[in-house]
Amino acid sequence: MSNGKKMEKIDLLVTGVGGQGVVLASDIIGETALAAGFDVKKTDTLGMAQRGGSVVSHVRLAPKVWSPLIKDGSVDLILAFEKLEAARWSHFLRPGGITITNNYEQPPLSVSLGQEVYPTDDVIAAALRRQTDQVYFVDGTGRVKELGNVRTLNIFMLGCFSVFSPLEAATWRESITRRMPENIREINLTAFEMGRKEIESVRIGKS
Amino acid sequence: MMKKTLQILSGNEALALGAYHSGVQVAAAYPGTPSTEILENLARFKDIYAEWSTNEKVAMEVAMGAAYTGARAMASMKHVGLNVASDPFMAASYTGIIGGLVIVCADDPQIHSSQNEQDNRHYARMAKIPMLEPTDSQDGYDLMGYAFDISEEFDTPVLLRTTTRISHSKSVVDVSRKRVVKNPQPAFHFNQQKYVMLPVYALPRHALMEKRILKLAEYSETFPLNQITWGKRDLGIVTSGVAYQYAREVFPEASFLKLGMSWPLPEKMIKEFTAGVERLIVIEELDPFLEQNIKSMGIEVTGKEFIPLVGELNTQIVTDSSSGAGLLPESEKILDPASGLPRRPPLLCPGCPHTGIYFVLNSLGQRSKLLESKDNGPQEPKLIITGDIGCYTLGALPPLGVLDTTACMGAGIGQALGMERAGVKSKVVAIIGDSTFMHSGITGLVDAVYNQGHITILILDNRTTAMTGHQEHPGTGISAQGEETFAVDIESLVRGIGVNDVKVVNAFDLKALRNGVKDSLDRPEVSVIIVRGSCAMLIRKRANPRKVDIEKCTQCNYCLGLGCPAIQSVDGQVFIEPTLCAGDICTICEQLCPQKAISA
Ligand SMILES: Cc1ncc(C[n+]2csc(CCOP(=O)(O)OP(=O)(O)O)c2C)c(N)n1
């Protein structure tokens, strides 16, 4: 799996903060996997609607999927749009799993009010490293700001994930094209390519 | 063989499409998580009639009326919505229908977005009507077809019960059916014995219901989605709904009885299954509904001895509880969640029109003191604030801490009157949203006026049903299908009820809000303030985000008391995140800053 080779199943957690586009990203993953012939289930846990709270989507691809929710300790890959949210779900990871985290901090209100503290990078990395050394950080928010549209973050992160998935890049591009309205289609396809490049260079940098 | 048309659909999308293909002609609903998207999806089809009703009771009555004319009709709602609709629901069971009548209720185990996690399967038993339960989106699509047919064949409403995990999970569905409308020209036929529930006609209908449920029990023995899958015979599992998926995954080798129709139960089939296995268990969410009913057939079965009663299940919980009961080997140790991480609860949005009035109530009612000393024994709030359900319920949490009660939709006004009449010394204010006011606040207000209460009622009119994702309601003037319609004017309505003191105040004007509340509290009568300002999520304009002038800011942190997600503090210095700030439409923080350090 770590080489981006085909695999039989992926159990994936996509996580972030309400408003970051987690649900759309996980929808596109599901649709792409269906197009590639997988059985797919996905489910979002939003708490009380989406009001800036923590969001997590479970996405499962396999020849046959039963439960829509993934069992603790058996997630193959965590795709996190925000650092604290990566740490929050780290216990779901299986030994040797992969984490891709947007190196971006959005302090919860309790942190702003001084009642709680935001974890340091070391604390976050340590939480993720409990199960694996495949811990990747990408500067997604920075890159999409350069691109000129922060709303493409979710598709940038999809690009990062796509490199580890058993699905062809062309299949990904087709579903992004299908899902995105015309006026933002091109910029999202660019964000997708940027994500692919970014994770490749981060990975090479590591090994 | 028909060609497969595979789509990935949520449970709610599949239910809507299933109903459409089954020829539903009239669909009515009141929004409520996790059921809302059923009507939203149906409303897109212009060849049916779909409405947002004022509340679930009305939705049920609209669907019932349509079904009396031979049209296929549906009402959908969340689990607690069926409490509101329970009166016509029971009546529909008595009268029966002509066209198929399907009632979809979506339960919320785990209370993801509700006020309780009641198990609505009991309603089917109480009303003596059949109940269907999907285990995934495909089942949802297929069961919808059966539901309408069963309804017509047995002259009964059918309850289709889903849960959050089914409604909001996506899975692959073959949607190859085509829409067929059985009765394109509905007509009502005179039949008082059937439709007029005077005692003389109702008693015979009850007798018919008892016969009906026996016939349905017979039918359930051959119902295609009641399925036995034989595996190893040492363990047999009876299950329904999403619990089936968890159980299949945790026990890949066991034998299964999956109940797509979970009321009435197929007794012969259950007995056959029981005879074929060494040990019988039930895996179900919430109450021991199947378990107790199977026990009452004289069958030995366990379930809730080890499967939790509280919260939703998942494969981890089923695994752990089954190992506890000796059905599985000791489960592997799993990691604990990383400790000490800050929580991220949902919040009122930047630019939310509820924030300003809540800030005013927080300071007038000295709510922060209450929050700080909540462990110091009984405290009487200076201002009692009875609440209701909507986005504004989030204001109960710190830093605003504004609500004293939240029970169910519409309860706040009656509670306020009750407290006042009980003789509390504090002033009492009730808070209610515009959609909730239409839903069930009006009757409470009538009561308060009629009984001469001395309470203040704040109607937070953000022009939408925000909490559930911005549905229209009778006050917005737009129908569920996007057409312009009559808008019920809240101000005239309130005046028409007989309230003399009615103020309409801009939700983003702190001074006016403060003066308005103070004035109302002093009045010896029912006083209503309509706090008006559009939900920020409906306004795209985001001009001129506010900034903090660091020179002028004394770090008093007063602005943090708003709980606005755009106002953040890093290393003690407050700043406003420009991508989050709503800018000109709000300016609440600018108005309250004592140093005048916030501006565009
Ligand atoms: C009986 C019942 N039906 C539906 C719901 C779901 N629900 C919760 S709040 C709400 C309405 C919120 O609208 P409004 O009162 O206008 O407040 P807003 O969220 O816009 O602030 C709904 C439909 C419920 N909790 N109970």
Got the DSSP string for A115-154? SS-PPPHHHHHHHHHTT-SEEEEE-HHHHHHHHT-GGGHH
**Residue B488, SS3?**
coil
Are residue B130 and residue B163 in the same domain, yes or no? yes
A45 touches B290 (CB < 8 A): no
Nearest to B520 by CA among B506, B501, B507: B501
- CATH number of the domain bearing residue B582: 3.30.70.20
Choose among A34, A112, A131: nearest Cβ to B6.
Answer: A34
Are residue B201 and residue B116 in the same domain, yes or no? yes
Residues 6+ positions from B495 with CB-CB distance below 8 Å: B502
Are residue B417 and residue B450 in the same domain, yes or no? yes
Q: Does some domain include residue B349?
A: no
Decide the pairing of beta strands B158-163 and B169-174: unpaired
Would you call the peptide bond into A95 cis, given omega within 30 degrees of 0 as the criterion? no
Are residue B22 and residue B162 in the same domain, yes or no? yes
- ipTM entry: 0.93
pLDDT band at A112 (very low <50, low <70, confident <90, very high): confident
* Whether B556 contacts chain A with CB within 8 A: no
Q: Which residues span the domain enclosing B148?
A: 9-216
Are residue B449 and residue B569 in the same domain, yes or no? no
The Å distance, Cα B509 to ligand 1 centre, comes to 25
Which pLDDT value is given to residue A50? 56
Report pTM. 0.96
Which pLDDT value is given to residue B375? 79
Backbone angles phi, psi at B418, to 5 degrees: -60, -40
The Å distance, Cα B123 to ligand 1 centre, comes to 22
> In this complex, do B338 and A68 lie within 8 Å of one another by their Cβ atoms?
no
Domains of chain A, residue spans: 10-206
CATH topology of domain A10-206: Pyruvate-ferredoxin Oxidoreductase; domain 3 (3.40.920)
Look up residue B3 and give its two tokens: 């060609």
Please measure the distance between the N-terminal and C-terminal CA atoms of chain A and give it in whole angstroms.
15
Q: Does some domain include residue B264?
A: yes
SS3 content of chain B, % helix, strand, coil (to 5): 40, 20, 45
* Whether B341 contacts chain A with CB within 8 A: yes
The Å distance, Cα B475 to ligand 1 centre, comes to 14
**Residue A93, SS3?**
strand
Which pLDDT value is given to residue A5? 44
The finding on whether B467 has its CB within 6 A of some atom of ligand 1 is yes
**A62-103, pLDDT tens digit by residue?**
999 999 999 999 999 999 999 999 999 999 999 999 999 999
Percent of chain A with pLDDT over 70: 92
Are residue B589 and residue B444 in the same domain, yes or no? no
Task: Tell me which residue has tokens 């009730």.
Answer: B430
* Whether B5 contacts chain A with CB within 8 A: no
Instruction: In whole angstroms, give the CA distance from residue B145 to residue B140.
Output: 9
Number of structural domains chain B divides into: 4
Choose among A39, A91, A111: nearest Cβ to B336.
Answer: A91
Instruction: In whole angstroms, give the CA distance from residue A164 to residue B323.
Output: 34
pLDDT band at A1 (very low <50, low <70, confident <90, very high): very low
The finding on whether B88 has its CB within 6 A of some atom of ligand 1 is no
Are residue B173 and residue B139 in the same domain, yes or no? yes
Nearest to B279 by CA among B322, B315, B248: B322
Instruction: In whole angstroms, give the CA distance from residue A88 to residue A101.
Output: 12
Look up residue B263 and give its two tokens: 């009321």
> In this complex, do A42 and B113 lie within 8 Å of one another by their Cβ atoms?
no
Instruction: In whole angstroms, give the CA distance from residue A161 to residue B499.
Output: 59
DSSP B306-337: TS-SSS---HHHHHHHHHHTTSS--PPP-PPP
Residues 6+ positions from B451 with CB-CB distance below 8 Å: B417, B421
Q: Which amino acid is at B478?
A: I
Q: Does some domain include residue B165?
A: yes
Are residue B248 and residue B178 in the same domain, yes or no? no
Choose among B6, B165, B335: nearest Cβ to A131.
Answer: B335
Average pLDDT over residues A147-156: 95
Q: Which amino acid is at B339?
A: S
Which residues of chain B does A9 touch, with a Cβ-Cβ cutoff of 8 Å?
Answer: none
Are residue B512 and residue B569 in the same domain, yes or no? no
Q: What angle do CA B39, B44, B49 make, to 5 degrees?
A: 70
Which pLDDT value is given to residue B56? 98
For atom 16 of ligand 1, which residue has the closest CA? B435
Task: Tell me which residue has tokens 């939480």.
Answer: A127
pLDDT band at A7 (very low <50, low <70, confident <90, very high): low
Task: Tell me which residue has tokens 């009487």.
Answer: B380
Alpha-carbon distances, residue B514 vs A170, B362, B364, B416 (angstroms): 59, 11, 8, 20
A154 touches A133 (CB < 8 A): no
Are residue B55 and residue B178 in the same domain, yes or no? yes
**What's the per-residue H, E or C state across B200-259?**
HHHHHHHHHHHHHHHHHHHHHCCCCCEEEECCEEEEEEEECCCHHHHHHHHCCCEEEEEE
Residue B550: exposure state from Cβ atoms within 10 A (0-12, 13-18, ≥19): exposed
Q: Which residues of chain B have pLDDT under 70?
A: 1-3
Which residues of chain A does B249 touch, with a Cβ-Cβ cutoff of 8 Å?
Answer: 66-67, 71
Instruction: In whole angstroms, give the CA distance from residue A67 to residue A69.
Output: 5
Which pLDDT value is given to residue B198? 97
**A12-43, pLDDT tens digit by residue?**
999 999 889 999 999 999 999 999 999 999 99
> In this complex, do A53 and B345 lie within 8 Å of one another by their Cβ atoms?
yes
Query: How close A60 comes to chain B (CA, Å)?
Result: 10
Q: Which amino acid is at B77?
A: M
Q: Does some domain include residue B13?
A: yes
Q: Does some domain include residue B516?
A: yes
The finding on whether B413 has its CB within 6 A of some atom of ligand 1 is no
Q: Which amino acid is at B106?
A: A
* Domain stop point among B216, B237, B265: B216
Q: Does some domain include residue B19?
A: yes
Q: Which atom of ligand 1 is nearest to the CA of B114?
A: 25
DSSP label of B426: S
* Domain stop point among B493, B515, B538: B538
Are residue B556 and residue B482 in the same domain, yes or no? no
Please state, as a whole number, how many other Cβ atoms lie within 10 Å of the Cβ of residue A102. 27
Are residue B20 and residue B128 in the same domain, yes or no? yes
The finding on whether B244 has its CB within 6 A of some atom of ligand 1 is no
Q: Does some domain include residue B330?
A: no
**Residue B529, SS3?**
strand
Choose among A52, A71, A90: nearest Cβ to B565.
Answer: A52
Task: Tell me which residue has tokens 């009757």.
Answer: B443
Q: Which amino acid is at B15?
A: L
